[in-house]
């Protein structure tokens, strides 16, 4: 059974699929869990804290791979050096329409991680520095950069990273992704539902959607390119 690293971008269905996959690898599996940190009122300090936390997760992922753990999932960034050192592990991920993912992520934060400093409407949130960060999660996870740093170079770098994956799914085709994941894992992956958003989620349109699309421009480019990769499912 081939080893698997499941890179779980927030609000892309990874809780359900990652849990099901780890059940398949029950004898050798791990999930890299977030470690809560102190709240930061300043957006720049908050971004720096997030990077430190992801640096920690990088180190945890490296330790699991070095120890031979066969299935690892979590909110971790892609590191080509780890893939080079561990060619026996297949890297997989599941993506989602970036605008849908952005809206779902905002409402998830409002439900599960309330913050008095975060605007209580999506429209007002779009004017905050955190909105730009939330809109560029694919850029952060697969090119390891933030919007405004080197997004122009980051988009092709993220696409090149995803081209090295064994499987890149899309949340609008869950059955196809589950079947492809089962082939990699050498057996069926049970259909689970974990961490689902409440029904009736708000779908933006008009000017609000256009503003979100602007924030998600890099992720939209990555998503569109990823759907045409050989590993796309």
Q: Which two tokens stand for residue 215?
A: 């924030």
Helical packing angle, 217-226 and 98-112, nearest 10°:
120
Claim: this prediction has a pTM higher than 0.75: yes
pLDDT digits (tens, 9 = 90+) for 162-197: 999 999 999 999 999 999 999 999 998 887 665 556
Q: Quote the CA–CA distance of 13 and 20 in Å, as a whole number.
A: 11
CA distance 104 to 225: 22
pLDDT at residue 66 tops 80: yes
- Asked if residue 199 has pLDDT above 60, the reply is no
The rounded distance, in Å, linking the Cα atoms of 179 and 175 is 6
Share of the chain above pLDDT 90, in %: 73
Query: Please, which residues have CB within 8 angstroms of residue 65's CB and are 6 or more apart in sequence?
Result: 5, 72, 82, 85, 86, 89
For residue 66, give Cα distances in angstroms to 44, 72, 87: 33, 12, 12
What's the confidence (pLDDT) of residue 28?
97
What percentage of the chain has pLDDT greater than the value 70?
94
Per-residue model confidence as pLDDT tens digits over 17-39: 988 999 999 999 999 999 877 76
CB 14 within 8 A of CB 105: no
Burial of 215 (0-12, 13-18, 19+ CB in 10 A): buried
Cα–Cα distance, 163 to 168 (Å, whole number): 9
Distance CA 4, CA 60 (A): 15
Strands laid side by side in the 3-7 sheet: 29-32, 71-74, 3-7, 89-95, 167-170
CATH fourth-level superfamily of 3-226: P-loop containing nucleotide triphosphate hydrolases (3.40.50.300)
- pLDDT beyond 90 at 151: no
Contact status, residue 90 vs residue 25, Cβ threshold 8 Å:
no
**What pLDDT digit, counting tens, does each position of 56-65 carry?**
999 999 999 9
Say if residues 49 and 34 touch (Cβ distance below 8 Å). Answer: no
């Amino acid at each position: 059974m081939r080893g698997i690293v499941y890179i779980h971008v927030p609000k892309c269905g990874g809780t359900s699929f990652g849990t099901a996959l780890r059940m398949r690898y029950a004898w050798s599996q791990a999930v890299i869990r977030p470690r809560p940190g102190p709240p930061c009122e300043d957006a720049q300090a908050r971004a720096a804290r997030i990077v430190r936390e992801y640096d920690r997760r990088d180190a945890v992922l490296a330790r699991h791979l070095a120890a031979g753990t066969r299935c690892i999932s979590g909110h971790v960034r892609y590191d080509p050096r780890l893939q080079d050192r561990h060619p026996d592990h297949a890297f997989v991920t599941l993506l989602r329409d970036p605008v849908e993912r952005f809206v779902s992520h905002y409402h998830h934060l409002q439900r599960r991680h309330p913050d008095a400093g975060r605007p209580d409407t999506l429209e007002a949130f779009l004017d905050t520095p955190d909105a730009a960060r939330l809109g560029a999660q694919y850029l952060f996870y697969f090119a390891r950069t933030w919007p405004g740093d080197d997004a122009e170079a980051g988009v092709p770098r993220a696409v090149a990273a995803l081209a090295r994956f064994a499987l890149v799914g899309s949340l609008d085709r869950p059955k196809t992704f589950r079947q492809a994941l089962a082939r990699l894992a050498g057996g069926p992956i049970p259909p689970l539902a974990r961490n689902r958003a409440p029904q009736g989620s708000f779908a933006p349109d008009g000017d609000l959607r256009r503003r979100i699309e602007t924030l998600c421009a890099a992720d939209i480019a990555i998503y569109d390119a990823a759907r045409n990769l050989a590993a796309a499912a």
